[in-house]
Structure 1
């Protein structure tokens, strides 16, 4: 028994020394494994060719009976170890789920078919087990300073593996065991590292604190931004340490200050359109300040200051085109306009900047106009705008008073009525009988005192304002059976003012010019004296004649009649005086009214029947 023991020891010793062909080689002899990972203990062995390997195993302690130390039988290892070798020359061994307690010297042993032939590789393979941890220096910095990160181990991991770095569990781009960075606000966070391929075995995380001034400052609104409501403005900013002061500005004017955390609020109660504008928030901490971009506060409100304008802005005369324009201050802009004339809708359109146009305006379209405007917030009516359509006289007529039976010699009053805007300025009365047309007076009423048969005739009035004149229908006043009879009758003078004068004209049979002055009653403004003047005869100078030479050397005379009081007149009178049919009379013919400023008297052939009156003036008998 003692001999066998000595033999085993000798074989063991000779094996270590590689004597007689026995040898175990560990590559490397020391390895560093990562806690929780797997490690392969690479191993090879040799023995004499005359032997056959019967058993192989790894152990960590030498017992009197070494076979009992087989790690595959040890409860601490049995479910974590694998023999990757064979019974020829490969003795590689793997340990999974490394523990820090696995730090040991590991040995390989094999037995052959020869009695008491066994061999153990000495001094064995040393296994180191390390955990990872992050070393950060410094761990608190101000933006712009440098930070060094190291993924630290207690031993050098076998194989010099690459590393994976994480910030807040998100992988980073660098893979070295040590990394240096220039800190920015984005670099703050919790850092950890892991061996590449073992991302599930990271180190504990270490926090890096980066101090920086406020950044990303923004302004937001809450609430309906409508005039009268309450609106809250909120300022948000990212800073480390957190913002401890806020300043609110509208434009460049400070409107409020607040202190507090990452947000600050500014509330405007009963907001008005004057509160519209660009708002800023300025956030600060002990490192610095930052101002937000401008935020436009656009306060919506219902229409205000609604008004109507009229074009043209001066006098509005019947027949022209008139445009009414509605303007209003509203946000959002007016969406609907409705036009009213004295509370009656006349036009409605859905468009902005509405104009209401009346073409060829009539007198009945005078009145008060206003517009109603509406947006999505509310409505408003404008003030009223009065349109006063002016027009020349219309519906001119004559009435008589008294209206019953009137005895000859009584007083009769004729009254002229007319619709005009502006009101009639001038009334002129005319009488037409068998001797011609006479101007009978002026003023709205014409009184005939002590009416006699020679007062009989057709009476009519001409009413006139600055836009033109109009004739009334004629009223026939005559004496029948001792009573005055008044009957309406038409006069063929059309719409032209039949202003014909009559006077005593002395005509000489000798060829010479004649001057005639006709007197009548004072005009409406009280001017006494002649209304018409410059009645002068001139020899006929063209070949068209209205009467022929009487054979006694007398030739026709032409007279040009011009009213002397022209400031209220709108027409010129031209008359042609023909030669007398006898010694006792002169005939007037071709009496035509032309607009003032007209050219020379038209030829007799162009005188229309409507504008010709005839009258005869008999020579006074001496």
Structure 2
């Protein structure tokens, strides 16, 4: 039986571990429904080493030895490899701290915090009028970097891309649903979501389930409709109690019948969950609030004592920019009148949120700081590359301040190139074909697109910009297409995409003939082989007869089957297969046997 002192030691050690005071803290985030392997951090693990789990239950810490059931939870404690704990079919209840030691007393110095998250399509308001933008999101940064994101519309595959940001702005249409998945985990798809309505102050969405419903005190297993405000702000309400003020997380949205849950932040750290916050007027701290579960829908930071505190705000938290272009990321700040910032710096963090933020150093004509306007600081990034896609935060360093990583979200930047996509890929005269100037994130709705055919600009029909529709398509439309977007004094262009138009009669007949010819080249030799085997079987079934050389010779020469084969040129096979040129490019494969139609 544990003594009171031993129990107190374990409890204190666990609290210190959670607070990061000592010990090696490691956090792992994995998808709900997937599997995870947790390494044992014990210095000298033996066969008697055990796994323990701990979690908070209200204000109490619950610690248990973790048994292996051989199915969902398994141990690998062999001496030949590193001991691991495998948990399959992860559940939210598996999100807790784990450690392995011979006794729980020594355990929490090297524990692992496991967080479990499902996928969710997050919906954010935009400044583009009545439209929203979508993001494939998890509640914690996944430890395994996603290979790619897959988007679905009305349950059908739409496209695959490295960016978690949906490539189009979305208008309201309750009949259209969106979902996403991570490549390799397609069976763990996010619940469907539809955008039912969008106004200047609110937007209403319907989720098929998931954690977004639980934030509104509804079941995760049932659909829920939620009306979100497009903006939140902190509003002070004076009360009679001297020296105190009530702060309200307010919106201009009047359509919602149920108040959302709000999270309050003090000095950029989570502080309280409520609609109201009562604090002293003398409090020298920054205060902000956000809609719970949608923390990127965040208010500006304010000071209780009339701007006598440190604040950082961003006018735009999501930016989509073109590769090779330039971008200006703006931060607005304030500080106490009697204190000046020791330094002003920008930090860059992985787009997935994994890892620590790194301080950005200025590089001439590539990375520049600009601080010419009072209480405004800009980060200019020139000649953007995809590796610049990240989350950027601005920090003010005070005296004796360690510049700790803020919990508030910064500015998400996605850098995209331009690609021309065809639908359908194979086009016949008279069909409808759509060419799309595709990106990895939604550019501004007023972006001007320029289309080129064989390097020459096209005059677009009305209402055709990002998409070029050819209906009906004909041979004159064939050629190499590209698209471009104006960026400053120059255009940023895509690579060329070939559009080949097949003739209804000539090309299709030629394609059919080529296909039939290839099929015959396979069928004829097979037929010959079958005939030979049948003939041999019939011959072998008869009683043996004395050989007659002259008779056999005459039979061979008079056989019509062998006459046909011997009469053909020796180079026949080489001649037919030389027309079937197979390359690595599927388009080249197709058109190597079909006459392509060049543009006029």
- TM-score w.r.t. length of structure 1: 0.29
Q: Which has the higher helix share?
A: 2
Q: Which has the higher strand share?
A: 1
Larger Rg: 1
- TM-score w.r.t. length of structure 2: 0.30
The structure with higher relative contact order (CA 8 Å, sep 6+) is 2
